[in-house]
Amino acid sequence: MSGTAEKPEIAFIGIGLMGFPMASRLLEAGYPLRAWNRTREKALPLAKAGAQVAATLEEAVKGADVVMTMLEAGPVVKEIVQSMLPYLSAGMLVIDMSSTKQSEAIDVAQMLAAKQVAFIDAPVSGGVVGASAGTLAIMAGGKQEDFLRAEPLFKVLGRPTLVGPVGSGQIAKLCNQLIVGGTVAIVAEAMLLAQAGGADPAAMRQAIRGGFAESRILELHGQRMLDRDFRPGGQIKTQAKDHANILDAAAEAGLQIPLTAMVAELFNSLLEDHATADQAAALLAVEKINEDKGIRLGKSEDRF
């Protein structure tokens, strides 16, 4: 282990839309950090902030105190953890901040336990804006002692909460995505209803803000819809993946969640043409359903 008692050395795996600002904040907080990404070029800018950009996964994780992963999906997390296993040693802590299935998190924990490596699943909410600002909601699943060890790192990134044993973080994240996805879809429908009914959608949004309909979704994504700004933040493909995981979790628990099933269909309908667009592009799905009416929100050109 090459970090200090105050600042453990971190191996950060996955330097994408979310991983880059998260790793940047840890570097700004003074943590020694090695960065690794399959496409190495994405990680290279972190070198200017003091990161060691590793050429191989072995170089990134061997001897680190804490390994943090921020990857696309559960199967990728399992693949990467399997690849790094030979280079991990007893006493290390692995924190996966990706969004996966609960069962995948438990599988990873079991893989690591065989090498006496601790594990926390800690998915986040807040998007690229929250990652850059250090205001992410962090939902952690794991042992209390492991959470306390990780808490100083988490507080650099946002607001952490231990919600239960390993896998619980993923369940909490799915609950978050259920609410976020449903609200995005409802805001899209409200915007289009205002347009179709002859009201000014921007004025409608302003009028209802501060009332019971107020939300971060109405604030941020409502404005994105008005601007027709679908440049990627939280992407459609991520919402579609998360909603598939939500429905799987509900099925395993024996629950029926009909509204979420409809929202899942809405996001799935956008995968072919707009997979990498921001989730505010839910508006496009609602407009397409109503294309025979010729109703379109605003006059701005779409931006992707």
What CA–CA distance (Å, rounded) separates 43 from 13?
10
Angle between helices 168-196 and 236-253 (to 10 degrees): 120
Angle between helices 168-196 and 216-227 (to 10 degrees): 50
**Do the Cβ atoms of 18 and 129 come closer than 8 Å?**
no
Q: What does the chain come to in residues? A: 304
Scanning the structure block, which residue is given the tokens 């994240």?
A: 173
What CA–CA distance (Å, rounded) separates 46 from 53?
7
3-state secondary structure of 197: coil
What CA–CA distance (Å, rounded) separates 208 from 257?
28
Give kind and range of the element (H or E) at residue 23: helix 19-28
Scanning the structure block, which residue is given the tokens 């609950």?
A: 175
**Do the Cβ atoms of 282 and 270 come closer than 8 Å?**
yes
To the query of whether residue 115 is one of the catalytic residues in this protein, the response is: no
Catalytic residue among 78, 101, 173, 241: 173
Alpha helices in 88-200 (DSSP H): 102-113, 127-133, 144-157, 168-196
**Do the Cβ atoms of 195 and 173 come closer than 8 Å?**
no
Give the residue numbers annotated as catalytic, written as ranges: 173
